[in-house]
């Protein structure tokens, strides 16, 4: 059984533009050149402009009447607000995951956890952050709440461009590692309340945030 191709043209275009923004090719505050992107993607303006409408709603660009789209600036305030919300969503995800997580998902998270530990020991920050990120996403998915998953993914998308550029202190590293240990333990015990508590305890993101805030705007 082959899955039906769900992809739409404007969806593809939106994805490509998100990438351009995330990798910094389209700088914050700069205008989005419709014509040029059309040529680059080989599509007409119609699907591209449809994509821009969606991106505007997602918060990646802002539409100025008769002046087209600009890449949204990620201000410190916005970044802080986004993390506040994501943190709260993670806490909820933790609670729910504790009740609903499957064996497979748990095993997957444990595997990611050990990968993360090994990256930590080798001092490989990029890989560490990736595994870290994947663990958080996996917990959100394990909540089995589709609305939560959607909202979280969108917010995560928005801050993607600053996530992997942070320099973290050693203090933060060891702190985060120990919190992750507790998280996996809580998951094993199917203790949603504990997991939610850990995830909402502000520590992790607050420290991460202070590092990330320097990146923004």
Please give the DSSP secondary-structure letter assigned to residue 186: H
State both tokens at 194: 């504990």
Segment 18 to 37, residues that bind DNA, using CB under 7 A: 31-35
The interface partner of residue 98, options being DNA, a second copy, none and the CB cut-off 5 to 8 Å by kind, is: none
Contact between residue 106 and residue 188 where contact means Cβ atoms under 8 Å apart = yes
- State yes or no: residue 5 binds DNA (CB under 7 A): no
Residues in the chain, total: 217
Kind and range of the H or E run holding 64: strand 61-64
The interface partner of residue 89, options being DNA, a second copy, none and the CB cut-off 5 to 8 Å by kind, is: a second copy
Question: Cα angle at 33 between 28 and 36, to 5 degrees?
Answer: 130
- Residue closer to a second copy, measured from CB, 96 or 212: 96
User: Segment contacting DNA (CB under 7 A): 46-54, 105-113, 135-143, 145-153?
Assistant: 46-54
93 closest CA partner among 186, 210, 207, 179: 186
| First and final C-alpha spacing in the chain | 48
Minimum distance from residue 47 beta carbon to DNA (Å)? 5
- CA–CA gap between residue 29 and residue 76 (Å, rounded): 15
Segment 50 to 89, residues that bind DNA, using CB under 7 A: 63-69
- Residue closer to DNA, measured from CB, 65 or 104: 65
Out of 16, 49, 157, 190, the residue judged to bind DNA by CB under 7 A: 49
- Residue closer to a second copy, measured from CB, 85 or 107: 85
Name the site residues for DNA (rule: CB under 7 A). Answer: 8-10, 31-35, 43-47, 49, 63-69
């Amino acid at each position: 059984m082959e899955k039906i191709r769900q992809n739409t043209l404007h969806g593809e275009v939106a994805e490509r533009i998100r990438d351009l923004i995330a990798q910094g090719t389209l700088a914050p505050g700069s205008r989005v050149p419709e014509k040029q992107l059309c040529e680059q993607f080989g599509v007409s303006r119609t699907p591209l402009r449809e994509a821009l409408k969606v991106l505007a709603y997602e918060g990646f660009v802002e539409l100025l009447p008769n002046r087209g789209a600009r890449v949204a600036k990620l201000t410190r305030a916005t970044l802080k607000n986004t993390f506040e919300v994501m943190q709260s969503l993670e806490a909820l995800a933790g609670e729910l995951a504790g009740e609903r997580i499957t064996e497979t998902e748990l095993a997957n998270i444990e595997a990611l956890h050990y990968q993360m530990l090994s990256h930590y020991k080798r001092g490989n920050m990029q890989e560490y952050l990736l595994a870290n990120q994947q663990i958080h996403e996996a917990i959100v998915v394990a909540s089995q709440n589709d609305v939560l998953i959607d909202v979280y993914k969108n917010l995560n998308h928005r801050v993607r461009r600053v996530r992997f550029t942070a320099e973290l202190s050693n203090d933060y590293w060891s702190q985060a590692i120990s919190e992750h240990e507790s998280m996996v333990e809580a998951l094993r015990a199917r203790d949603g309340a504990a997991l939610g508590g850990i995830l909402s305890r502000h520590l992790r993101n607050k420290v991460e945030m202070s590092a990330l805030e320097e990146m923004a705007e």
